[in-house]
Amino acid sequence: MKYDLDHCPDRRATESEKWRRYPPDVLPLWVADMDFVCPEPVTRSIVDRARHGIFGYPQDPPELRELIVERMAELYQWAIQPEDIVFQPGVIRGFNRACHMFTGQGGEVFVQTPVYPPILFAPHNAGLVRRELVLVNDEKDGYVVDYDVFDKSINSNARLFILCNPHNPVGRVFRHEELSRMAELCLSRGLIICSDEIHCDLVYREHRHIPIATLDPSVAASTITLMAPSKTFNIAGLDCSFAIVQNTDLRKRFKGAHRGLISGINLFGWTAAVAAYREGREWLEQVLTYLHANRELLIRFVENELSPIKMSPLEGTYLAWLDCRGLNLQQSAYDFFLKQAKVALSDGAIFGKAGEGFVRINIGCPRSLLSEALERMKSAMSKI
């Protein structure tokens, strides 16, 4: 079926965090939540299940495990087994759980900044030390890894490396050779890799996502891969995600690290995930085409209308990273655009010190909304 992505229902009348955090005159392009109605089969499956009328404790459906196994084989030629899959309510629980494997032992967790804020906080939640590997902002190639710093930073206290790929917020989709070098450095020092790949399905046509665990069996044996249907099919509120852990011993440690705090998936999360993976491809293909056009609009507008703002190459995710340092503002770019343009973006500072002077903009919205927000930003900039 043809989906109308140019319009969405009024979300201010719902419990939407995205649309209710700011006053009605503010356009919200901040949190990673798309403004597209989810696939029709997902809605239909939830309505059908609701009609049953009994919502007792659910058990994970075997067909979801099989769908994930088939999906990994089709997309990445990755042969996993149903028992390799560990379900959990969200990817954030996943990398926190990975950190909690080392609670009581102490040690360091390495993250690449700027990065998704919950990744920054996860080491401290487990009583570990965070070590930041700052990505190098190359004007030509976008953000790249400084392997010398990576190598020299890993010491005997290193326990875990949290990779974000596709990377939020800088939009990189790491290449095979980049992943191989990072994996080699981690394995040579005995680090476990926890790879947040929640945006793996949201990659633009000239790029290809490669799960780091697919590089080699030795890498897979030291890797916890985190994925979910939530970002892909815009069902984040249903709390369904999974980890793929092929090493039996590592999987046992990972499962044991929940410490009684991580609940299971809710019934409607199971229902939506099965429908999305079974029947959501047509919707996803249309969304990717639409996001590609939104990305091209943003690239042109930034280049032609928002100078001196610069945009990092957007290879994956629907989240673009804008360098606003050239504006020489007396306040953060986030505050400036919120107050002067009535556009709510994500403040780069929350992604770590390396994000200061930047903002993140969500392009997963109707094109008219994105265009209006950009025009507002242009107008605000014309007054300084």
Average pLDDT over residues 352-367: 98
The structure tokens listed for 381 are 């900039």
SS3 content of the chain, % helix, strand, coil (to 5): 45, 15, 40
> What pLDDT is recorded for position 262?
83
CATH for 17-38+281-381, among 3.40.50.1000, 3.90.1150.10, 3.30.413.10, 3.30.2010.10?
3.90.1150.10
Strands 158-164 and 108-113 come out as parallel
Given a contact cutoff of 8 angstroms between Cβ atoms, the answer to whether 236 and 42 are in contact is no
- Dump pLDDT digits (tens) for 210-228: 999 999 999 999 999 999 9
- Dump pLDDT digits (tens) for 228-275: 999 999 999 999 999 999 999 999 999 999 878 888 899 999 999 999
**Burial track 255-293 (b if 16+ CB lie within 10 A, e otherwise):** eebeeeebebbebbbbbbbbbbbbebeebbebbbebbee
Given a contact cutoff of 8 angstroms between Cβ atoms, the answer to whether 346 and 114 are in contact is no
Measured distance CA(154)–CA(270) in Å, rounded:
39
- Dump pLDDT digits (tens) for 45-75: 999 999 999 999 999 999 999 999 999 999 9
Domain range 48-279, CATH architecture: 3-Layer(aba) Sandwich (3.40)
Mean of the per-residue pLDDT values of the chain: 97
What is the pTM for the complete model shown? 0.97
Which neighbouring-strand residues pair with 359? Answer: 322, 347
Residue 307, sorted as left (phi over 0), alpha (psi -120 to 50) or beta, turns out to be: beta
Measured distance CA(36)–CA(297) in Å, rounded:
18
Q: Give the start-to-end residue ranges of the domains of the chain.
A: 17-38+281-381, 48-279
- Dump pLDDT digits (tens) for 271-311: 999 999 999 999 999 999 999 999 999 999 999 999 999 99
| 38 Cβ neighbours under 8 A, 6+ residues apart | 233, 234, 235, 272, 276, 283
> What pLDDT is recorded for position 372?
98
